Structure 1
Amino acid sequence: MSTPNTKVLSLYRNFIRHGHKFSSYNFRDYTVRRSRDAFRANMTETSNEKIAAFIAKAEQELAVVKRQAAISQMYTTGEHLVVEAPKL
């Protein structure tokens, strides 16, 4: 069984990875920013019960992000905003 630290790091990486898969800049930026903020806010937590609850909630939210990122890729328009870096 993996340690809580390993599980949390894995969840964090998956949130960032799947957050970058959104085709819309606004959704992509919001998901990545919100993920970082949530993990940083709970970084100093030491209670095992609260950590377990946070991990369970994060796993549910990660499933939502994965589904929405997949749907976002299916219905992409190909148009990019001015603030986005052009894809080469």
Structure 2
Amino acid sequence: MSNTRSEALSLYRGLLRHGNRFSSYNFRAYAIRRSKDAFRAHQNETDPAVIAQLLKKGESDLQVVKRQAAISNLYTTGDHLVVENAKPRHV
């Protein structure tokens, strides 16, 4: 069980880490929100077969997020939205 737990935590951290790499705020927020929601929805799952299937799907989703984040960074405009954290200005 602890091996499955560590796999799930590693997958969760990977999805959040790579989700944060999107250049677009909207895609970044969506990837992070979707990852958190998916893990929260299945946090009480106890069936080992279902858990294995969810981990396999999560690994597949992680590969998609990695590719899409890399592609996203190829086409950045440099413009940021107002809602994004800007560097604090020193006065």
In the alignment, the residues of structure 1 paired with residue 64 and residue 6 of structure 2 have an alpha-carbon distance, to the nearest angstrom, of 21
Name 1:35's counterpart in structure 2.
35
For 1:69-80, what aligned pairs fall within 5 Å after superposition? Answer: 69-80=69-80
Name 1:56's counterpart in structure 2.
56
Name 2:6's counterpart in structure 1.
6
Q: 5+ unaligned residues in a row in structure 1: which ranges? A: none
- TM-score, scaled relative to structure 1: 0.95
Report the residue type matching 1:65 in the other structure: V
TM-fit CA distance, 1:41:
0.5
- TM-score, scaled relative to structure 2: 0.92
In the alignment, the residues of structure 1 paired with residue 70 and residue 6 of structure 2 have an alpha-carbon distance, to the nearest angstrom, of 26
Report the residue type matching 2:84 in the other structure: E
In the alignment, the residues of structure 1 paired with residue 22 and residue 87 of structure 2 have an alpha-carbon distance, to the nearest angstrom, of 14
Q: 5+ unaligned residues in a row in structure 2: which ranges? A: none
TM-fit CA distance, 1:87:
4.0
Could you list the structure 1 runs, at least 4 aligned residues long, displaced by more than 4 angstroms after superposition: none
What is the aligned length? Answer: 87
Query: What's the Cα RMSD here?
Result: 1.2
